[in-house]
Amino acid sequence: MALVEIRDVHKTFGKVEVLKGVSLDVQEGEIVTIIGRSGSGKSTLLRCINALESVDAGEIRVEGLKVHARMPDLKKFRQRVGIVFQAFNLFPHLKVERNITLAPLLTGRIDKAKARALAADVLTRVGLADKIDAWPEQLSGGQQQRVAIARCLAMAPHLMLFDEVTSALDPELVGEVLKVMEAMAKQGMTMILVTHEMGFARNVANRIVFMHQGRVWEQGPPAKLFANPETPELASFIASAK
Amino acid sequence: MRSFSLIDFVSLFAALRWTVALVALALAFGAPLALGLALGRISRFAGLRWAMAACIQVIQSVPLLGLLFFFYFGMPVFLGIQVPALIAVTVAYTLYTAAFLGEIWRGGLEAVKQAQWEAGACLGLSAWQQFRHIIAPQALRLSLPPTVGFLVQLIKGTSLASILGFVELARAGQVVSAATFQPLLTYALVAAIYFALCLPLTLWSRSLEARLDGSR
Amino acid sequence: MNFLPLWRYQNQLIDGAIVTLELTVISALAGLVIGIAGAVALKGRITPVRWLVRGYIELFRNTPSLIQIFIVFFVLPNFGLKLPAFEAAAVALSLYFGAYSVEIIRAGLDSIPRSQVEAGQCLGLSGWQVFRHIILPPALRNAYPAVTSQFVLLLLGTSLASQVAADELFHVAGFIESRTYRSFEVYAVICAVYFAMAMSFKALFAIIGLAAFRWPRRR
């Protein structure tokens, strides 16, 4: 059984059909990168996977559980699926430590005595152990994004979603975030990413999914997809992304 | 005792002219003063900035009723001369208006970026020309919503002149209420007239605000 | 100018100031409760309730506080609700302060971007946990300056209660004036007392603000 099963998902905003029947499986330990032009529905698909958006038709299952906004264990489910956003979305009124430990403490995953050690541990994994007592606003964009990743890691998720996590960063800060993600990939984390970073897609992903006009247009291993795109749409997308 | 009649109705509306007159006087004298205060608050001279800030702070930290009583009852005694009631009241409302508008306009002036002054200076404009043609129009746009909002406060504030015997709207209400023994009807009517004056301004202020937010 | 004749009235002045403070604090607390309830109602889904709250806000923001006090004091007795001066003023001022508070608190809650809520939900927090830990602290900070300046305006506005003879500071002023005929000195002193109280509250609020909201502002 695949970790994530997406079956014929449709989603409409107002009059615009953003997803027109998307099907996709993601196996445990797989790194799947979704690419495509803006408006192709890739971010919406990602947000559907952890029920930030509800699907109009079709279904999404994660670890066999059907995902929707009214699922009985939504909160438990979301603790197992981490998501990192384009705009970091750190909580500005909480120090880095508290940003990380708030959810584990409130959801009863850990007790107070272990909280700081947990924060220190995940911060070490993103290379920011020395920032444990900083305020988010004191950090650079790249550092904030790494803290956001650490915040997800603290929940020990089974699956991580990344929604254009480097798009809001200055170019010189992109590398440090990608390095952290690469390290996570090597440790076997299942990851689904929406990204414009073609280098990362090529070197780290197991599989590329090209979305176009609300559909999965073409997919396959990066080497094959980038070298021999089957559809003219993908070919022109790759050409324009260079 | 008599019943509430057309005369009472008319006298309430007639009292409106004092409400309007007080607002007009307060704005006529208060607005130029407010501009002076606002400019003083952004002046290069620290002493002037301080003095203006202190003036505004004092007036904003004293009840409007206190200002009115001070100038109406207190000042004539102190000066030892007869001060016409209208002048005393006008002074109080003028200071009140100057302090609040001054602070609002200072906010507007400060919200215009420093770079705009510099851009004006680079074009060889004098300080006054920079202010007049570059800064003031932008600041005016920014501070228009709160300025209109303050106008509502001022209109409501003129009701306090009733306490000093001015037969503006609120006072006319008291008179009519006492004559007709119909406080419910009278005060409801008075409130309704104020409401009809203020609501359009409030709504206007809010729509100006929304338009500013939209264009930002 | 001679302030000495006022000296023997210092006890009355202090008593008046205490009543003014009581009136201010009671009205502010009641008004904040109204403000929170109103803001929640405005965010709610029940349309008639939203209209009711909107109507309340507009009614109380667009009519003079003085008239509101008069209506509570002079008109409500016609309906069998006869309140003493202090209570009547407290009711009117609470409703007045409440009308402003609703807008301030609603604006504070609205200032928190939707993405913050989503980030909380995605970490598996409940609706209440998101509100309590993620929305509320920054919303409070954003509403704080407006609430505190409205509080100072309320403090000054309690002087209107003198017009229904609630024995607060301004009413005491009238009493002393009628005894001493020293209008200038009396109203100078009264204004100074209000000024001192207003400045003290501003200083207190500034200190509380610094202590409560320590995180750096967004750049």
Quote the ipTM score.
0.90
Handedness of CA A202, A208, A212, A214 (dihedral sign): negative
Strands (E), B113-167: none
What mean pLDDT do residues C152-171 have?
93
Asked if pLDDT for residue A176 goes beyond 80, the answer is yes
B208 exposure class (CB count in 10 Å sphere: 0-12, 13-18, 19+): middle
Question: What is the Cα Rg of chain C in Å?
Answer: 21
How far are the Cα atoms of B16, B165, C60, C64, C104 from residue B190, in angstroms, in the given order?
A: 10, 16, 13, 10, 27
- C124, C216, C217 member nearest A75 (Cβ): C124
Asked if pLDDT for residue B6 goes beyond 90, the answer is no
Residues 6+ apart with CB under 8 A from C112: C134, C135, C138, C139, C142
Q: Rounded CA gap, A137 and A150, in Å?
A: 16
What mean pLDDT do residues C19-45 have?
94
C196 or A69, which is more confident: C196
* 8 Å CB contact of A137 and C138: no
**Confidence category of residue B3, pLDDT binned at 50, 70, 90:** low
Residues of C in contact with B61 (CB under 8 A): 152, 156, 194-195, 198-199, 202
pTM given for the model: 0.87
- Give the residue numbers in C contacting A (CB under 8 Å), as ranges: 115-116, 118-126, 129, 133-134, 137-138, 141, 213, 215-219
Question: Mean pLDDT: which of B137-141, B189-193, C117-121 is highest?
Answer: C117-121
Q: What is the mean pLDDT of chain C?
A: 93
Residues 6+ apart with CB under 8 A from A10: A17, A19, A20, A21, A55, A56, A57, A58
pLDDT at A217: 93
Asked if pLDDT for residue A158 goes beyond 90, the answer is yes
Each domain of chain A, given as residue ranges in start order, spans: 91-157
Percentage of residues in chain C having pLDDT higher than 90: 79
Percentage of residues in chain B having pLDDT higher than 90: 48
pLDDT at C219: 62
pLDDT at B128: 83
C180 or B7, which is more confident: C180
- B61, B73, B188 member nearest C195 (Cβ): B61
